[in-house]
Structure 1
Amino acid sequence: MPMLKPDYPIVTGRLVLRPFRPEDLDALNSFQSRADVARYLYWGPRSRAESAAALAKRVHSSTVSDEGQFLAVAVELTETGQLIGDLTLEYVSAEHRQGEIGFVFHPDHHGRGLALEAAGELLRLGFEELGLHRIVGRCDGRNQASSALMERLGMRREAHLRENEMVKGVWTDELVYAVLEDEWRLARS
């Protein structure tokens, strides 16, 4: 079974991707506590204690060796060292070589291509280092920013599930995107 143990830090043009650390609590809570961030997520705005519990899981998720585990990656701005994003890559199936990505970014840093830069590295980790065949991403059907990001990543919309989940007391649509390893490699060449 493959093991994903990224060679941290991963440095891109404007970002540093690294494992989460306990001292990330204030920065993580600065965006997890916001209603506009939690709007399309399964959880509501998080208290400091709730962010601390989420962070504790992330601190211990810097590698992946078994299906069902997830890789948690902190995204910080190179220029300031500020934590601005939270990436996840779940190892869904070893047999079918499937994974799922997720991303949450501080709204102060939206619209600059930073999420695209970071999530592109997450796809690279999934395909090149974990050996995945297919990576999916899902979002609330109202979340235009996330669906646009997945399209810019080269993922195709495979499903639009109408009112398939009750989230925070409201029936919501779910969009499902995916990209295959061959498609990802072709797009990069």
Structure 2
Amino acid sequence: MSKPDYPVRTRRLALRPFTLADLAAVHSWQSRADVNRYLYGEARTPEETAGSLVNKAAVTWPEKEGQYLCLAIEKDGEVIGESVLKYLSQYHRQGEVGYVLHPDHHGHGYATEATAAMIDLAFDHLGLHRVIASCDALNEASWRVMERLGMRKEAHFRHNEIFKGAWGDELIYAVLEDEWRRMAVNRAAANGG
């Protein structure tokens, strides 16, 4: 396991650990009911956002099971969202990715680009074998990101939990390290690299 050098750069974005100076940016999406529609919890107060930001900033690299790496997604110096990598199992080499973007930045492929970078970190720096992602089945924008990444839909759990007062369905997607590496070779070949 090797901690990456930050920021992690993609074609259009920079991913870096959160700092307490990011409070206004984080609150700009955590305070919105529409952003929280498919997330556990509700829109947050400034004090609740500050508490969540302390937790995000505390882990700059997941060193043990259960830890979350939450990186700020920057576009041209502006924090527009977050990308998450949870270290699920050291023995089974499993992790989970997630993402949240401010709605002003939806529809530009930023979630896909940032999540691809997190999957690279999972395989290249954390040494994982398998990475999953999950979402509410009604959250089409989220599962479309997983499909654009080439993740395989492995499960559709019907009525697996009561979510915000109603039965909810959950989708599970996954990709294995060797599949991800093959896709990277194919992407490079398609781009003339």
Instruction: Give the shorter-chain TM-score range.
Output: over 0.9
Give distance in 2, aligned partners of 1:11 and 1:99: 21
Partner of 1:98: 94
1:66 pairs, out of 52, 64, 67, with: 64
Give distance in 1, aligned partners of 2:162 and 2:132: 21
Count, aligned residues: 185
Over residues 84-119 of structure 1, what are the superposed CA-to-partner deviations in whole Å (9 max), with x where a residue is unaligned? 011110110011000001110011001111111111
Cα root mean square deviation, aligned? 0.9
Structure 1: gaps (5+ residues): none
Give distance in 2, aligned partners of 1:47 and 1:58: 16
Structure 2: gaps (5+ residues): 186-193
1:163 Cα deviation from its structure 2 partner: 0.8
Does the residue aligned with 1:102 lie in a helix, a strand or coil? strand
Does the residue aligned with 2:141 lie in a helix, a strand or coil? helix
Give distance in 1, aligned partners of 2:151 and 2:37: 23
TM-score (norm 1): 0.95
Does the residue aligned with 1:131 lie in a helix, a strand or coil? coil
% identical equivalent positions: 54
> Is residue 36 of structure 1 aligned with residue 46 of structure 2?
no
Partner of 2:188: none
Give distance in 1, aligned partners of 2:163 and 2:4: 34
Partner of 1:10: 8
TM-score (norm 2): 0.94
Partner of 2:49: 51
Does the residue aligned with 2:133 lie in a helix, a strand or coil? strand
1:148 pairs, out of 136, 144, 149, with: 144
